[in-house]
Amino acid sequence: MSIIEAQQLSKSYKVFRKKEGLLGSIQGVFHREYKVIEAVRDVSFSIEKGEMVAFLGANGAGKTTTLKLLSGLIHPTTGEAHVLGHIPWKRENAYRRRFSLVMGQKNQLWWDLPAVESFRLHQEIYRIDKVVYDRRLDELTSLLEVKPLIRQAVRELSLGERMRMELIAALLHAPEVLLLDEPTIGLDVVSQRRVQDFLKFYQQSQQITVILTSHYMKDVQALCKRAIIISGGTLRYDGPLAELVEKFSQYKLLSLQFAGEFNADELQTYGRIIEHLPPRVKLEVPRHNLPELLSNLLARYSIEDLEVQERPLEDVIAEVFTAAKTQSTEK
């Protein structure tokens, strides 16, 4: 059986629509108008043990709502989910002990106290044996390089240090499922890298099952082989990250180094020029007729060097988001 299973999961919110101005406020007291926001619509997927899956989507796509459903923080409007065999929103203690949710935008740790005090509280809540707790704390603080900081008030820590403490708090009870919502948000490149390296090592060594939402494609590329994309609450893609580029990107990048003269205006008939640093030019060219285009270019020009690359994942995903948005507004 899969570790995480969602079957036609939907969540709608009914929100009060206030009219503008004072009159609108007064009218609202007597006659309330509501609109329904379908944050997640009929989403189904299943995730196997030891997978680390990227959950991608533009702002407001429904990622956090899905993670909240899987952690049992909210009930679905319709649909089902099972995580480790539990229905999350039943909020059984047995389930709470087996998963963790980390939200990059929210603190779990006591702000005015040293992180170690929050860790001890976790030890109590999850009833972690003292010897096991000491060993895990020692391992995690060494791996995340924060040992000297655990006795310092959390409010005095940098954002990167605080995030690493949040991860420790989330992992002390050795969850089998980890739901990560933007764990590197706001971190500088070095801290981001440190968190990525840690997550990679920890996930592989413990074989835990992870869902990661992130707007940083570097996180996604470093950590996940599979991606699920949602847009407007609906699932748009579920498959290998590598195939995403092939499936959705209609273009490739072609870098050329010319040995002789070349005409930039004429080159535009082959593709869009995205870099022009003579004698080098980078073109965005249609993927489907690349072989023909290359043979034409080689026949026409004296070319010293050429390289064909995929477009950056960021660009491809942005294209998928835009296409999905256009489709849903056209409906």
Ligand X SMILES: Nc1ncnc2c1ncn2[C@@H]1O[C@H](COP(=O)(O)OP(=O)(O)OP(=O)(O)O)[C@@H](O)[C@H]1O
Nearest partner of 220 among 45, 57, 70, 62, judged by Cα = 57
39 binds ligand X per the rule CB under 6 A: yes
60 binds ligand X per the rule CB under 6 A: yes
Whether the Cβ atoms of residue 76 and residue 8 lie closer than 8 Å to each other: no
Region near ligand X per CB under 6 A, out of 62-70, 140-148, 199-207, 235-243: 62-70
> Of the candidates 37, 174, 245, 274, which one interacts with ligand X according to CB under 6 A?
37
228 binds ligand X per the rule CB under 6 A: no
CA distances from 106 to 27, 56, 101, 111, 232 (A): 36, 19, 11, 11, 24
Nearest partner of 4 among 53, 42, 40, judged by Cα = 53
61 binds ligand X per the rule CB under 6 A: yes
59 binds ligand X per the rule CB under 6 A: yes
> Of the candidates 3, 52, 65, 81, which one interacts with ligand X according to CB under 6 A?
65
13 binds ligand X per the rule CB under 6 A: yes
Of 39 and 143, CB closest to ligand X: 39
318 binds ligand X per the rule CB under 6 A: no
Number of C-beta neighbours around residue 328 at 10 A: 14
> Of the candidates 4, 43, 64, 165, which one interacts with ligand X according to CB under 6 A?
64
**71 Cβ partners below 8 Å, 6+ apart?**
88, 99, 101, 179
**Through-space distance between the first and last CA atoms of the chain, rounded to whole angstroms:** 36
- Minimum CB separation of residue 78 from ligand X in Å reads 16
Interatomic CA distance for residues 77 and 98, integer angstroms: 24
Instruction: Give residues in contact with ligand X (CB under 6 A).
Output: 13, 15, 37, 39, 57, 59-65
